[in-house]
Chains A and B, each alone.
Chain A
Amino acid sequence: MDKQEYSKLTDKVSQNSKSYLNIPKAFVIGGLICTLGQLLLNLYMYWGADKELASTLVSVTLVFLSALFTGLDLYDNIAKHGGAGTLVPITGFANAVAAPAIEFKTEGFILGVGAKMFTIAGSVIVYGTLASVVYGLIIVIFKLY
């Protein structure tokens, strides 16, 4: 990611610094995304999924919707208002994968779509995985299982 893309991404989320508006908007939009998640969770459990499977299906559904909205160029419009409200939920992660994949299609499927997909998501996966390994080692060393 070069400097220009980087500042573009920053601008997208911190469009202006009117915190008295930004924070409530992030709260409401993020809250609504989680409420949608809860609605889906109840729906999948109603259809017979156990809690764990339902929770996984919720993530998959939200990731799909986020990728679709990103493709339709709608996610950015919501993110303009949502700020962290569209960043912090798992939809923000999916957007971070889909947006560069679409944008860098012009650079081809190998070095564009395939590589740029992980510009931000890669970092999330790397540090999340490393943290889980550290925790796993602590469990093994101190016999916490």
Chain B
Amino acid sequence: MFIEYLKAFLIGGLFCAVGQVLIDYTKLTPARILVGYVVAGVVLGALGVYQPLVDFAGAGASVPLTGFGNLLASGVRKAVSEDGFIGVLTGGLVASAAGITAAVLFGFIMAVLFKSKDKS
């Protein structure tokens, strides 16, 4: 049990440390890093190297946005194998629907409930 949490901490931490290195040493903005991580996750998922990492590190690999990309890739793979060509169009968003809808729903609720504070 402890090892499981340690692996999640170390691998998840590593993904974030790499992100910080990119912010500090390149001109990459946070928005580009978010996009880059998701696309990298799709590529790594497509190459079949990300799922083994998820099996190894659990939430340490599925919580970073690369895991979101991996979800898109595995969703497309599953949809194409089940539904054929139309799966190309449905697979990605179907697999990521819960995360995206949750972000929209909770983001909206918070916007209704809270006012922006002066951040100066």
Contacts and interface: CB of A to CB of B under 8 A. Distances in A.
Given A41-B59, A135-B42, A136-B76, A123 B19 contact: no
B59 A60 contact: no
Interface in B1-47: 1, 4-5, 8-25, 29-31, 33-35, 37-39, 41-43, 45-46
B110 A29 contact: no
Given A84-B16, A98-B107, A124 B38 contact: yes
B12 A34 contact: yes
B15 A88 contact: yes
Contact of B80 (A55, A120, A145): A145
B89 interface: yes
A67 B37 CA distance: 20
B35 A84 contact: no
Given A102-B111, A132-B91, 13 more contacts: A19-B25, A23-B20, A23-B24, A26-B13, A30-B13, A34-B8, A34-B9, A34-B12, A34-B13, A87-B30, A93-B65, A132-B42, A135-B76
A26 B107 contact: no
Interface in B89-111: 89, 91-93, 96, 98-100, 102-104, 106-111
A122 to B, nearest CB: 10
Given A34-B9, A42-B4, A26 B17 contact: yes
Nearest to B36: A127
A31 B65 contact: no
A133 B88 CA distance: 5
Given A26-B19, A33-B63, A34-B8, A133 B92 contact: yes
A72 B114 contact: yes
A139 B34 contact: no
Given A31-B9, A64-B106, A96-B34, A59 B73 contact: no
B24 A14 contact: yes
A102 B117 CA distance: 9
A111 interface: no
Given A60-B99, A63-B103, A92-B34, A73 B91 contact: no
Contacts of B98: 56, 59-60
A38 B60 contact: yes
